[in-house]
Amino acid sequence: MRLALAALCLSALPAVADVQRTLDTHILPGHAALVEETTKLAAAAQADCTPDALRPAFHDAYDAWISISHIQFGPIEDQALPLAMSFWPDPKDSTGKALARLTAATDPIVDDAEAFSDVSAAAQGFTALERMLYDDQPDADYACRLTQAIATGLAQKSGSIQADWPAFASLMTTAGEEGNTRFQTPIEAKRALYTSLSTGLEFLHDQRLGRPLGTFDRPRPRRAEARRSERSLQHIQLQLAALEALATTMTDTDLTATKAAFAEAITRADALDDPALQGVADPAERFKVEVLQQSVRAIQVAVIDEIGTPLGIPAGFNALDGD
C-alpha cells in the first residue's frame, strides 16, 4: 500500500526533473570535457612548463572545470576531491602557504605523482596552478617540477571522477529500485540535481560576487576568485551558462521566469568590463556588480518557484547550509 501511495505521489508531480537527460547532455559530457582539457594541460606542462607556454592550456582546462564544478555530489564527493580540484575561497591563504612550504624545502614529493596526491589540497588544484603561472617564483627549476605535478594531478583526479560517473549515473536512473541504497526513491535523484542548481546559484551570489564586493565601506577586490589570471568575471559568466543549462535539462516545463532571470544576469555580466572585478572599490563600477548580484538573486527566486516548489523542496534548501 505504501509503495502504491509513493508511486501516486511521484506521478502527480510535474515533469520537473529529467535525470537521464541531465546526465546525458550535461553531467557526463561536462566531465568528459574536463578530462580532455586537463589531459592536454598535463601534456603541455611536460612539454614546456614555463608560464607563457602553459597559460593557454591552463585557461582551457580551468574553463572546463568551472563549467562542471557545480556538480559537487557523486564521485567527486565520494573521493573527497572538491578542494583538491579548486581550493577557494581561501581566507587564510592556505594555497600560498602550502606552495611556499614545498618550495622552501625543495620537497621531492613533486616527482612522485602518487605521493603528491597526499599533500595539502591547497597545493593541488587550479588555484595552486594559477599561483605557479602568475606569481613570481624564486626557484625556476623547482617551480617547473611543481607545476608539472599539479597539472598531472588535475588530469588524474579528473579521470578518476569521470571513471566513476557511469556507475553513479546508473544509481540515479534506477533510483527507488530494489537494492539501490544510495537513492531510495526517484525524488531523491531529482533533488540531488536541484541541490546542485540551488547551491551553485548560492555560491555565485555569496562567494564569486559577494566576497569581492565586501561592504560599501570596505570592498574586498583582492578576494575575487582567480584575480591573478583575470578570470573572475569569466568564472561568473561560465557558471551562469552552466547553471542555466542544468536548469533547462532538468525540466520539460517552460521555465519562463527562470530563463528571463538568467538572460538578465547574463546580459549584465557581459556588460561588465572588469575581468578581475577590481572595480568594486569604485562606487560606479561597484553598483554594476551589485545589480548583477541582485539579478542572481532573482534567478534563485525563480528557480525555487518553478523547480524547487514542484519538487516539494522548501525554499532555502541547499547543500551549503547542511540541510
Residue 265 confidence (pLDDT): 98
- The reported pLDDT for the residue numbered 17 is 61
Q: CATH 1.20.120 residue ranges in the chain?
A: 186-321
The parts of the chain modelled with pLDDT lower than 50 are 1-16, 317, 319-323
Question: For the stretch 145-174, what's the b/e string if a residue is b when 16 or more beta carbons lie within 10 angstroms of its beta carbon?
Answer: bbbbbbbbbbbbbbbebbebbeebbeebee
Asked if the bond preceding 89 is cis, omega within 30° of 0, the reply is yes
Residue 314: predicted pLDDT: 66
- pLDDT at residue 6, as a whole number: 40
Q: Would you state the pLDDT for residue 319?
A: 43
- Asked if residue 131 lies in contact with residue 229, where contact means CB atoms within 8 angstroms, the answer is no
- CATH 1.20.1420.20 residue ranges of the chain are 19-173
What is the reported pLDDT for 16?
44
CATH of domain 186-321: 1.20.120
What is the rounded CA–CA span in Å between residue 317 and residue 258? 18
C-alpha closest to that of 207 among 194, 191, 226: 226
Q: Which CATH class name applies to 19-173?
A: mainly alpha
What's the pTM? 0.92
Q: What is the pLDDT of residues 175-215, one digit of tens each?
A: 999 999 999 999 999 999 999 999 999 999 999 999 999 99
pLDDT of 252 reads: 84
**All cell numbers assigned to 147:** 607545476
58 within 8 A of 130, measured Cβ to Cβ: yes
